[in-house]
Structures are given as C-alpha cells and as structure tokens.
C-alpha cells in the first residue's frame, strides 16, 4: 500500500518523488535505500528519486532543481513561463527562488536567487511551486532576449495588463523591475507611436532618403512610403492592443496597396527594438528591386 501511494505520486510528478513524500506515504528510509540499490528508483539528487522506467525529461530536471532546493523553493522567470505553457521550450538553465537565509549548494545549471515572494504570486501547478502567471511574465520578459514578444503574447492569451501591474507593485525593487516598468509603459499605449519614432530615427541613422511619413494612397494612409520606388512600410505596435476590426482593416489596406503596385513591408515594435539591422537590410533589399 505504501509503495503504491508513492508510485501514485510519481505518476503525477513525471516519475519523481521526494524522500519526504515517500516517508509520508509510509515508506521507511531503509526501504527507499533498497529501491535505489535494486535499481527500481534512481537517485537524482539527495532526497530526490526517479522511477527507473521514466525518462529524464526537462520536466524531471526542473522538478529536481526545485525540490532539491528545499521547502518554499519556487520556479520563476523563464522556467515558470515554460511550466505555465507561455514558453514552448524549456530554457537551458533552471530558474529557482529560495527564501532569504536559505543555505544551499549552487548548481551550475541552476539560476538561483534568494527572495521572499508574496503569497499572492505563488501557485502550485502539477505538483510544483511556481510564480503566478503575472509575475512570471514580468520576470521572464526581462530575462529573455525576445521578452517583449513573450509579454505581448501573454497579454493576448494568459493574463491582463491590470494583473501585470498589480504584481509589479507587489514586488518592488526586484531585479529587472525598471526594465519591466518600461515594457509595461509600452504595453499600456500599444507601442505604435513609439514604434514610428524608433523607425524614423532608424531610417535617418541608416542614411536612407527619399521617404515620407503618413502618405495617402488608394484612400489609405501609409505609415512610411518611398514613393519613387513604390515601397510602402507599415509599422505595428503590440499585437494585444489591436482588436479584430483593426486587424481586418490592416489586412484590407495591405491587399489594396499590393494590388495598386506597392511593395509592402511590415515591421513590429519588437522587430524594431530587437533586430534593427535586420529591418534596415529588408528595406534596402526592397529598394534595390527598383533602384
């Protein structure tokens, strides 16, 4: 009975069980050691075990990193984003938070931080303590190169701006809080006006000439146009800020412009801030078609 209870926990936890969980199921330390010696269980870390017939998946590795860090250890940032399904792939490192004062041996593959998290920002998902979705989005967004894209997608599918702002206020002074505040400011207004300013500055810095902003054609306004080359450039802010009507209008405008002989390029706020050189290359390539 004790063994079946332990195996039931393992079934819910990707094949993983902690020593404390096994003992609470009624197994003795001697029995646990016997399972390890016999090869039925594999020791992943002190006090952390995996059934021998289960693979060492990214889920297993993250559970090991969190469970081995002790009570109140919590996955955060990119690891929590992956656990919540906000990121498609597990990060190469495992992000773990432990309370202040916790003595722990650092593992090179674990990004460990010491911080006391508000109770409102902690949840348990599939048997693992992780930061809640709002704090996860805020912290993952400043840890990842394409963090703004993650926040934009999360606002469309997983959370709201109001929840992000509340979590931000509950966690002042944390690492990356200033960068997160900047992203929140952009998210509030959708980023379109800021993206246009960034784009105009980028064109000037690249030495590109012959363009005008807010050009009318076919009854539509083009954000930036190289009229001689018939290259129209549309600038988009954050996707979460566009409703269905705006999206349909943008598609209709692009189709009309293409049918009228314009070569249309679209750039988002994320592309302008994360890959400005790539944006310039694409514009030069489009202009090179006619110049």
- CATH homologous superfamily of domain 192-288? VSR Endonuclease (3.40.960.10)
Identify the pLDDT of residue 291: 55
The full set of domain ranges for the chain reads 57-188, 192-288
Length of the chain in residues, anyone?
A: 291
Could you tell me which of 77, 243, 239, 87 has the C-alpha nearest to residue 155?
Answer: 239
Identify the pLDDT of residue 245: 74
Tell me the pLDDT tens digit for each residue of 159-205. Answer: 999 999 999 999 998 889 999 999 999 888 887 888 899 999 999 99
Identify the pLDDT of residue 257: 94
Q: Which long-range contacts (CB under 8 A, 24 or more apart) does 276-280 make?
A: 276/202, 279/199, 279/202, 280/202, 280/206, 280/208
Identify the pLDDT of residue 290: 63
Q: What order of strands is seen across the sheet that includes strand 263-268?
A: 212-217, 220-226, 231-236, 263-268
The contacts of residue 61 (CB under 8 Å, 6+ apart) are 90, 94
Identify the pLDDT of residue 220: 92
All residue ranges of the chain with pLDDT < 70 are 1, 105-106, 241, 243-244, 290-291
């Amino acid at each position: 009975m004790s063994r079946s209870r332990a195996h039931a926990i393992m079934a819910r936890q990707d094949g993983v069980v902690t020593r404390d969980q096994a003992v609470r199921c009624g197994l003795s330390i001697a029995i646990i050691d016997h399972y390890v010696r016999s090869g039925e269980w594999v020791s992943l870390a002190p006090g952390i075990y995996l059934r021998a017939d289960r693979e060492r998946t990214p889920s297993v590795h993250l559970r090991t990193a969190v469970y081995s860090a002790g009570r109140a250890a919590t996955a955060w940032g990119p690891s929590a984003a992956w656990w919540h399904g906000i990121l498609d792939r597990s990060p190469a490192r495992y992000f773990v938070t432990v309370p202040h004062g916790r003595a722990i041996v650092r593992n090179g593959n674990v990004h460990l931080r010491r911080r006391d998290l508000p109770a409102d920002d902690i949840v348990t998902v599939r048997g693992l303590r992780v930061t809640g979705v709002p704090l996860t989005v805020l912290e993952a967004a400043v840890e990842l190169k394409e963090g703004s894209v993650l926040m934009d997608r999360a606002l469309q599918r997983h959370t709201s701006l109001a929840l992000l702002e509340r979590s931000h206020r509950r966690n002042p002074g944390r690492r990356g809080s200033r960068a997160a505040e900047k992203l929140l400011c952009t998210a509030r207004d959708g980023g379109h006006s800021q993206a246009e300013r960034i784009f105009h500055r980028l064109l000037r810095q690249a030495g590109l000439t012959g363009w005008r902003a807010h050009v009318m054609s076919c009854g539509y306004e083009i954000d930036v146009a190289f009229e001689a080359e018939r290259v129209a450039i549309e600038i988009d802010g954050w996707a979460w800020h566009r409703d269905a009507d705006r999206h349909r209008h943008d598609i209709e405008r692009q189709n009309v412009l293409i049918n009228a002989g314009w070569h249309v390029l679209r750039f988002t706020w994320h592309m302008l801030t994360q890959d400005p050189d790539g944006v310039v290359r694409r514009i030069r390539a489009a202009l090179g078609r006619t110049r």
